[in-house]
Structure 1
Amino acid sequence: MRDERELDWREHQRHEFPLPSPDLAPYVARYWIVHWSYDRPYRQLIVPYPNVHLAFRGGRATVSGVSSRHVFQELDGDGRVFGVAFRPGVFRAFLGAPVRSITDRTVPSMFPDVPEPSVPAVEEVLRSCLPEPDPAAVLAAGVVDRIVARPEITRVSALAEETGRGPRQLQRLFAEHVGIGPKWVIRRYRLHEVTQRMAAGARVDWAALAADLGYADQAHFVRDFTAMFGETPTGYAARYHQEISRQRSADAPGST
């Protein structure tokens, strides 16, 4: 269940998303830094993308594989976490094993400790651990980039035609280097486009949208959306617009 304080998260959290240095950009999508302050435990909803994450929190470093569905993480008191979101497809050489082996798991970090994590300190550690170039990793990352850039790709068969590789070849490539299947990755980015439409205030015809995204019916679309975001599409839309209205009221002249 989502935390009832979710609409007030800006009062308790501060987020930063620094970009990596150019030499690390082939490996790192972004850094993320979260500060929080809560007087009682807060259940933070985490919506997944196909990134592996390295996180430094409370002197402990962990690596989290791709989550196949939304998860919750507890935030309490005052705290900070510094994270590294790796580009999808590039983590296998760091891990030394198929990335599917850590899907839906958090494991101890294989990187050296960083007592006081900052962008320069973490980048120094990453540079000390850079793997040898891997053509398969470059290929996997490129296929994911193609999914992101081409909204018309809604099925694995279309991706296979685009890349000249069969569906089974893509399944093996993604299991080894991304950690989750190409169908999941396609659906994840197409569902992201749904939330962008909501943010733009567009009126959504759910049945037509489900068909546009390659779903057999609306029920399958609702199931996937709920697994990813922790609520139904209509529930998400209502809550999102409520949050936007509250933010506009707070930003209005004369508001306190």
Structure 2
Amino acid sequence: MPRDARELRGAWASFQSIRYADPPPDLAGLVDHYWGVEWDLRGQPPYRQKVVPYPCVHVTFRDGEALVTGPARRHVVRVLEGRGRVFGVAFRPGCFRPFADAADASAAMLVGRSVPAAEIFGAAPREDEIEEFLRARLRPDPLAGTVAAIVEHVRRDPHLTRADQLAREHGMGLRRLQRLFREYVGLGPKWVIRRYRLHEVSERLAAGAVDWAAVAADLGYADQPHLVRDFTAMVGESPTAYAQRYAPQRR
């Protein structure tokens, strides 16, 4: 099947806009950002929007429905058609649990799933009241901050490539680290490390030409083929194909 030309060189921006906003200061420690997507495909065929995975839980609003969406292990595809919009709240990795009413609402139960928000919160939030809704449900949970700090360490340290190394640097055993990630992130520390290292690949692709052998070595891969296989399995296409999505760099 020929590739949809609207995927290439930033052409998606002709019918779709994406906006981001920061949360208020009192929620910023737990909420990473707000996001909104609007599209207008009237008179055009549906568009298959590829969404790459991150270890975040989202609350989303579309067509009057509020959903809680957990992290995915690999990319997912959302079909956009007609005209529409979605608003979302992205929680910092590890920081959704303090808001959930259900005592057993571990992040692992949400991996790869979207469920009605009322099942998690005990009531359905409204988009225009989401901040007040979250403030009313926030419960103290110091472990959420601990896990968030560990994930932030992974994000910032490109030399961190192993889960046992991460556990040692935070003064805990690997099994305890794995249990914390299962409960608060949903995905294991090995997956989170791999995801953030592969994110660096996409950033380098966006910046221009890539020395693949050097990138593989920098990110702890034995060789370039291992890096390409990991990237393709998670993102759904090879790095070369993914690079074609970016608009040409201005010079």
Kindly indicate whether the alpha-carbon contact (under 8 Å) linking 2:61 and 2:86 is maintained by their aligned counterparts in 1: yes
1:93 offset after TM fit, Å?
Answer: 2.9
Aligned residue pairs, count: 240
Q: 1:240 to 1:42 in 2, by over 3 A?
A: closer
Pair 1:4-2:5 in alignment = yes
C-alpha distance in structure 1 between counterparts of 2:91 and 2:80, whole Å: 23
1:66 and 2:71 equivalent? yes
Amino acid at match of 1:34: V
Does 1:83 find its partner at 2:127?
no
Partner of 2:60: 55
Task: Measure, in 2, the Cα distance between the counterparts of 1:93 and 1:127.
Answer: 11
1:41 aligns with 2:42: no
Q: State whether structure 2 residue 27 is matched by structure 1 residue 24.
A: yes
For residues 25-77 of structure 1, the C-alpha deviation after alignment (integer angstroms, 9 at most, x for no partner) is 11110000111111321111001111001000000011111010000001111
Q: Aligned with 1:159: secondary structure?
A: helix
Partner of 2:176: 169
Structure 2: runs of 5+ lacking an equivalent: none
Q: Classify the secondary structure of the residue corresponding to 2:191.
A: helix
Q: Distance between the aligned counterparts of 1:165 and 1:220, measured in 2?
A: 29
Alpha-carbon distance, 1:219 to partner? 3.1
| 1:125 to 2:163 alignment | no
1:209 paired residue number: 215
1:158 aligns with 2:165: yes
RMSD: 2.0
State whether residues 36 and 87 of structure 2, in contact with CA within 8 Å, keep that contact through their aligned partners in structure 1.
Answer: yes
Deviation at 1:18, TM superposition (A): 0.9
Structure 1 residues 181 and 3: CA distance shift in structure 2, 3 A: farther
Distance in 1 between residues matched to 2:157 and 2:29, nearest whole Å: 20
CA drift of 1:134 comes to 1.0
Distance 1:71 1:142, change over 3 A: same
Q: In percent, how many aligned pairs have the same letter? A: 55
How far did 1:201 drift?
A: 1.8
Larger CA deviation: 216-225 vs 189-198 = 216-225
TM-score (normalizing by structure 2):
0.88
Give yes or no for contact 2:7–2:245 (8 Å, CA) kept in 1. Answer: no
AA aligned to 2:48 is R
Q: Which of structures 1 and 2 has the larger relative contact order (alpha carbons within 8 angstroms, sep 6+)? A: 2
What's the counterpart of residue 106 of structure 1?
Answer: 114
Gaps of 5+ in 1: none
SS at match of 1:5: helix
Could you give the per-residue CA deviations for residues 89-110 of structure 1, whole angstroms, max 9, x where no partner exists? 0112333321101101111113
- Equivalent-residue separation in structure 1 for 2:25 and 2:85 (angstroms): 26
TM value normalised by structure 1: 0.87
CA distance in 2, matches of 1:101, 1:65: 8
